[in-house]
Amino acid sequence: MSKVCLIVIGLFVLIQAKGQTSPFLTQQTPPVNGAVNIVVSNLDENDGDTYFADAEKNERRGDLNDAVTLFGKAAFEYNSSKKFTQYGSALLRLANVHYLLAHYSEAEQVTLNVALKNYSKIGSRTGQMESYSQLGKIYLAADKLTQSLWFYTQQGILAKQIGDNNAYIDSILGLAQVKTKKKEYTLALKDLNRAELLAKSSSLGRFKTQIREAKAQIPAKVIAKK
């Protein structure tokens, strides 16, 4: 783990060395170790918006270590001022920067043990769905394919429940990525064809390139059979 990650996690995250199952999930999650507690500070609540904006600027510039620090500070302030929707957003952005830095353990801890619990507590189904998506992506990158498959499935279930077609198609594409990585190409292609059909019927053209690139990872002989 990099020095900056140790510093940031030391500032606002306490990782305890014991296993924990998330009580707010409707099904049993794959086993995950660690629990995360967020420490609160006493600075002005408006500082959260300032830190968040600065973090976004640093992320766009590619200054990811600075972005980690600033998203962490934004999370501090939002939690302190009980702005829990913004708190969850800052946590997911923080976790995503950890993901971009290949700090998969930190990304997992922040998303699973803090962001997802926060969204469950405030009853934000959209936030929970976004957390599921983030976890699917993190576990995929970390080659934890069983966990990735589970969370992309949960994302899809919740997306259907709340009528979010974009998120539902995203979940199907996530499942296809996992199956492609497992070399289950026929199943992956079925998912991609399904996503393509849903995108066309919903006039969601933004998925066109993503689907084409995903199909390019599938052997031509598998596609030819279809």
Rounded to whole angstroms, how far apart are CA atoms 115 and 118? 5
Asked whether residue 32 carries a pLDDT value surpassing 70, the answer given is no
Mean pLDDT value of segment 31-60: 71
Mean pLDDT value of segment 13-26: 38
Q: Render pLDDT for 71-91 as a digit per residue (tens, 0 to 9).
A: 999 999 999 999 999 999 999
Cβ atoms of 128 and 116 closer than 8 Å: yes
Rounded to whole angstroms, how far apart are CA atoms 35 and 103? 17
pTM of the model: 0.81
pLDDT for the residue numbered 45: 55
Rounded to whole angstroms, how far apart are CA atoms 71 and 111? 13
Q: Which of 93 and 12 is assigned the larger pLDDT?
A: 93
Rounded to whole angstroms, how far apart are CA atoms 181 and 218? 10
Read off the pLDDT band of 130 (50, 70, 90). very high
Strands 33-38, 13-19: parallel, antiparallel or unpaired by DSSP?
antiparallel
Range with the poorest average pLDDT among 164-168, 199-203, 217-221: 199-203
Asked whether residue 149 carries a pLDDT value surpassing 70, the answer given is yes
Encoded tokens for 54: 């600065």
Helix, strand, coil abundance in the chain, percent, nearest 5: 75, 5, 20
Cβ atoms of 28 and 21 closer than 8 Å: yes
Read off the pLDDT band of 181 (50, 70, 90). very high
CA angle 123, 153, 177 (to 5 degrees): 130
Mean pLDDT value of segment 105-114: 97
Asked whether residue 139 carries a pLDDT value surpassing 90, the answer given is yes
Read off the pLDDT band of 226 (50, 70, 90). low
